[in-house]
Amino acid sequence: MKSAQETFLKSILSKEGEGWSEFYKYVKRRKGNRENIPTIKDCNGRIITDSIEMAISLNFYYSSVFSNEDNIPNIQDKISSETFIIDTKIIRKRIAAIEKNKLVGTDGISGEILKLGGEAMIPYLARLLDVTMNNGTLPCDWKKATVVPIHKGGDRSLVMSYRPVSLNSVVCKQMEHVIASYLRQVCDKNDWLYEGQHCFRPGYSCESQLITVCQDIADFLDNGDRIDAIIIDFSKLLI
């Protein structure tokens, strides 16, 4: 790998003009996208410059707005009758879709390793998913994430101006796609989803939802009916 990297660097540096552009792209990929946080204020308005103290302040804020509700509807009884079948075709498709430069999670396994493994990785990933689903447990590394604060607008010195982005295990992400595909099949088979649900569904999008809403409004106007609309910004409710 070291020899390949040296050969690659020599090839792009030997070029004139565009060679430097490719070199800086390479350096950026190696560094990763890091959010630069100059200074922030704590709850008392004190300016914090130490990186550890800033991390503690951000973690305290994110923990304060995080909710862990226990009133989520339990659908275990509904899906227990369905046999979970691991579709290796989906695993193969997910491996092919992995970006080589995708940032690594806490387990240190990169997407590039999975792509290089190719077909040889599929039976191991299938076995890992089978053990995880049948035992109802997750590997410890899948429960951890590297949280990177991203500035979303406003005063950069305020912790609420940064939204957290979690860098999870790449392997866990692929397993989530496999499980999500299975759940979609079960929901479609049992007709559990409301037809107006457009988010996170294959074949649906913001465009399809917008078209549906506009058509409904046009129909109500043609019939002379009353139209009521409620718009809620959940991100504002969190703040």
Max mean pLDDT range (20-24, 40-44, 98-102, 116-120): 116-120
Query: Strands, DSSP E only, in the chain?
Result: 40-41, 47-48, 146-151, 162-167
Model confidence at 237: pLDDT above 60: no
Neighbouring-strand partners of residue 150: 163
Confidence band, pLDDT 50/70/90 cuts, at residue 219:
very high
What pTM did the predictor assign?
Answer: 0.58
How do the domains of the chain map onto residue ranges? Answer: 1-31, 35-192, 195-239
pLDDT value for 211: 92
Q: For residue 238, which amino acid is it?
A: L
Q: For residue 104, which amino acid is it?
A: V
> 156 — phi, psi (to 5°)?
-70, -15
CA distance 37 to 21: 26
Which tens digit of pLDDT belongs to each residue from 34-43?
A: 556 778 887 7
pLDDT value for 35: 52
Identify the CA nearest to 126 among candidates 182, 177, 183, 88: 88
Which is more confidently placed, 33 or 89? 89
Mean pLDDT computed over 77-88: 61
Low-confidence winner among 54-68, 69-83, 111-125, 217-231 (lowest mean pLDDT): 69-83
Model confidence at 188: pLDDT above 90: no
Neighbouring-strand partners of residue 47: 41
pLDDT value for 20: 72
CB 88 within 8 A of CB 128: no
Mean pLDDT computed over 188-206: 82
What is the DSSP secondary-structure string of 104-146?
P-TT---HHHHHHHGGGGHHHHHHHHHHHHHHT---GGGG--E
What is the DSSP secondary-structure string of 200-213?
T-TT--HHHHHHHH
CA distance 129 to 123: 10
